[in-house]
Structure 1
Amino acid sequence: MIKILANDGIDPVGKSLLEQAGFIVDTDTIPQDKLVEALQNYDAITVRSATKVRKDLIDQCPNLKLIGRGGVGMDNIDVDYARERGIAVINTPAASSLSVAELVFAHLFTGARFLQDANRKMPVEGNTNFNNLKKAYAKGIELKGKTLGVIGFGRIGRETAAMGLRLGMNVIAYDLFPFNGHISLNFQGDIDIDIPIKTISLEEVISNSDFISLHTPFAEEPILGAKEFDQMKSGVFIVNCSRGGTIDELALIAALDSGKVAFAGLDVFNNEPTPLAAILQHPKISLTPHIGAATNEAQERIGTELANLIIAHFHK
């Protein structure tokens, strides 16, 4: 009987599907330094972003036949090496797209109306400095009619673009793999509208966007650094709900302090789980702790997709 360690958890629906298919699923979290010993008793492991499955772990776990990632990015797994060793590696790239896109716009609306600062100051100054706070937050902006630049135009990037289009934004996009097609918008459940869109150069996106949203995998070098900030419009907004390391955080702080960047929304950080204090304390940054896919609906979709992929692999 196949035994699976869901080390970072799995939605109850996914767990139930696996158990109905005859698998044993354990959801107790094993600390990273205890995984080698624990995995001697399992055929597969599923992870999210917390657990790392690197070469040394793979080498010491000869029983391992499958590694599943509940989510999109797999930078916490040595994917190529695992596959070279004959281990299947799967992920769930489609399941969390909507939830991540909605978080992007939560950050954008937050910055557009100063919610990140208001939520910090109202509890301590709201009853003594109300009118001054009202004046401080009086220059909000609307998203409609502004240009949204999407860097990384995979599933999540396209979902983010679709949300921007529904709001009446002008959307431009860049991807390593050029895209020339359409974004399908669904309204009221039965009305579909196709909007043509094609990717342009990274430089064009950077220099022409009012708002920039990152949706790229982990990169060895930051995609946005001091040079890129210099090329942007003054007052640009930047949101990163993709991966830490894609933005040079020190350059971002400098750009925020100078006013070149008006606001940043960050769900991911360079050195998780201990983000830079200057990032956490900056008044122009809206912060969330890597929760892009953390909705009930997304987790159910992830669990279901992951379970079906596992079942298909072992039953083929």
Structure 2
Amino acid sequence: MSTVYVSEPIHPQVLREIAAGADLLLGYGPTAVAYESVAYRVDAVMLRSERFPAARIVASPRLKVIARHGAGLDTVDVATALEKGIAVTYCPGGNANAVAEHVFALVLALGRRVVGAHLGLCSQPWPKAKQHLVGQELGGRIMGIVGFGEIGKLVARIARGFSMEVWVHDPFADAAAADEHRVRLTSLDDLLSHAGVVSLHAPLTPITRHMISAERLARMPSHALLINTARSGLIDEAALVDALSQGRIAGAALDVADAEQAGGADVRFGGRPLSDVPNLLLTPHIAGQTDQALLNVGSTAWHDIKSVLAGQAPRFPVRAAPRQ
């Protein structure tokens, strides 16, 4: 029987299926085992956000497949795995709808000051003066989408439902895709200069790291909202704190942050306590965490693990390391 290591919680139905067909080892919960202690006997790994560097790959003599429970590949040393003949798989689109919907949960919560309004009622009587709770409407504004993959396309469709004009920056998108989805292709700087809402959906590479820099934040209109449900490294967090503190943009709502990779009890953002960052709404990487999405993604990852272990081709293999 093959040994499958699951790094973090997945949908219980998928977990039951794995346990019925393999020797299941968990990297979380009361029966958690450290990967390093079992690496010698693991045949397959299913990863959510846990990192899987070259050292783990080299220490895994039986490993045949690394399955990403998601679409991003920046947490896996893909090049080393492929060099050693280990299959790497991913799950394109399985949580795309969930993430796209979360984008607008963040946009509306931020733009309509939902969290502040609720917390205010928790600590004081119903306010007679509400000037501090004046929000923004989306209709007629420009939605700027950076990265036009599965999620970006769904965000564009939802944005049109709010009567927004949609601008897109993606160096790999073409005119045919723009026409099909009724969006305008433009440069990143042009998009940032005009969009009322900017939503990031780009992969994290050395080229895209800190693509939203202090210089680019300065290009954004003062009423703009910045949304990131992709990867934390796309934004220079210290520069974003400065922009928010000085009122250069109206707000930011993020589902990813460098705090995910940091220890300690206090969540800090851009070097500051989270409570000190004005006009920032942060959620703990839950955009893709709906019951439907977890089932979709988990089932896809397990299907490809089973295929590789049976000597068959997976549905969603990674054929080369991510572009640098």
Count of residue pairs brought into register by the alignment: 301
Shift of 1:28: 4.9
2:64 aligns to what? 65
TM-score, normalised relative to structure 2: 0.86
Instruction: Choose from 133, 136, 141 the match for 2:132.
Output: 136
1:136-190 superposed Cα distances (whole Å, 9 cap, x missing partner): 21x2221121110001111111111111112211111111312333589xxxxxx
Q: Secondary structure at the residue paired with 2:287?
A: coil
Separation of aligned partners in 1, 2:70 and 2:228? 16
User: Does structure 2 conserve the Cα–Cα contact (< 8 Å) formed by 1:104 and 1:239?
Assistant: yes
2:5 aligns to what? 5
Instruction: Choose from 202, 205, 208 the match for 2:191.
Output: 205
1:303 aligns with 2:298: yes
Separation of aligned partners in 2, 1:33 and 1:23? 16
Separation of aligned partners in 2, 1:28 and 1:81? 22
> Please, which runs of 5 or more residues in structure 2 have no aligned partner?
313-324
> Please, which runs of 5 or more residues in structure 1 have no aligned partner?
185-193
1:190 aligns to what? none
Q: Secondary structure at the residue paired with 2:15?
A: helix
1:186-215 superposed Cα distances (whole Å, 9 cap, x missing partner): xxxxxxxx6433532112211110100011
Separation of aligned partners in 2, 1:297 and 1:199? 32
Separation of aligned partners in 2, 1:143 and 1:198? 18
Separation of aligned partners in 2, 1:59 and 1:227? 41
2:118 aligns to what? 119
1:54 aligns with 2:53: yes
Separation of aligned partners in 1, 2:52 and 2:150? 24
Separation of aligned partners in 2, 1:78 and 1:39? 16
Moved over 4 A (4+): 16-20, 30-33
1:222 aligns with 2:214: no
Q: Secondary structure at the residue paired with 1:150?
A: strand
Q: Secondary structure at the residue paired with 2:292?
A: helix
Separation of aligned partners in 2, 1:12 and 1:102? 23
After superposition, the Cα gap between the structure-2 partners of 1:18 and 1:198, relative to the gap in structure 1 and judged at 3 Å, is: farther
Q: Which has the higher strand share?
A: 1
After superposition, the Cα gap between the structure-2 partners of 1:179 and 1:198, relative to the gap in structure 1 and judged at 3 Å, is: farther
User: Does structure 1 conserve the Cα–Cα contact (< 8 Å) formed by 2:255 and 2:285?
Assistant: yes
Shift of 1:48: 0.3
Q: Percent identity?
A: 29
Separation of aligned partners in 2, 1:119 and 1:270? 27
Shift of 1:224: 0.5
Separation of aligned partners in 2, 1:69 and 1:279? 32
Q: Secondary structure at the residue paired with 1:8?
A: coil
User: Does structure 2 conserve the Cα–Cα contact (< 8 Å) formed by 1:149 and 1:172?
Assistant: yes
Shift of 1:23: 3.2
After superposition, the Cα gap between the structure-2 partners of 1:39 and 1:65, relative to the gap in structure 1 and judged at 3 Å, is: same
Separation of aligned partners in 2, 1:97 and 1:233? 28
Shift of 1:74: 1.8
